[in-house]
Amino acid sequence: MQCDLCENKATVFLTQLVEGEMKKMCLCEKCAEEKGVTDPTGFSLADSVLGVGPVAEGGQILEDGDDGGVPCPECGFTFNRFQQVGRLGCSECYRAFGDEIGRRLKGMHKGTV
């Protein structure tokens, strides 16, 4: 199997159950180390793939006051806030941030979609 991030040979295989849905990720040793995957209990697939959680893209910690781009017209949630908390604010957020979420998911699949 290939690493989902760099396509080298995968040696680390992670499976996570998130809200009843099984998520799998295959990583090479180097990518696993770069992502800090030494203890599976401390690893979040969402953090790695979508850039959500306390650490966002580029390793920068987002602050509440950071400009999050165009907010959701329904609830005012921003994409940066999504990255911080790992969930969206309302159902309209899926439309508001759909392009960005889709771009990140396509990057994860590297042309297999």
* Range 37-61 average pLDDT: 52
Q: Quote the pLDDT of residue 19.
A: 73
- Domain residue limits, the chain: 1-43, 51-113
pLDDT tops 60 at residue 55 = no
Query: Quick one: pLDDT at residue 84?
Result: 74
Can you tell me the mean pLDDT for 9-15?
Answer: 86
pLDDT attached to residue 47: 60
Token pair of 21, please?
A: 């849905």
Q: Over the chain, what is the mean pLDDT?
A: 73
Report pLDDT for 39.
53
Per-residue exposure over 23-35, b if at least 16 CB sit within 10 Å of its own CB, e if not? eebbbbeebbeeb
pLDDT greater than 80 at residue 48: no
Cα four-point dihedral sign 100, 105, 111, 113: negative
Q: According to the model, what pLDDT value does residue 5 have?
A: 92
* Burial tier of 109 (Cβ tally within 10 Å: 0-12, 13-18, 19+): exposed
What would the DSSP string read from start to end of 22-88? Answer: EEEEEE-HHHHHHTTTTSGGG--HHHHHH--SSB-GGGPBP-TTS--SSPPTTT---HHHHHHHSS-
Model confidence pLDDT, tens digit, residues 57-96: 444 444 444 445 778 999 998 888 887 777 888 999 989 9
Enter the pTM of the model: 0.42
CA pair distance 89, 72, nearest whole angstrom = 8
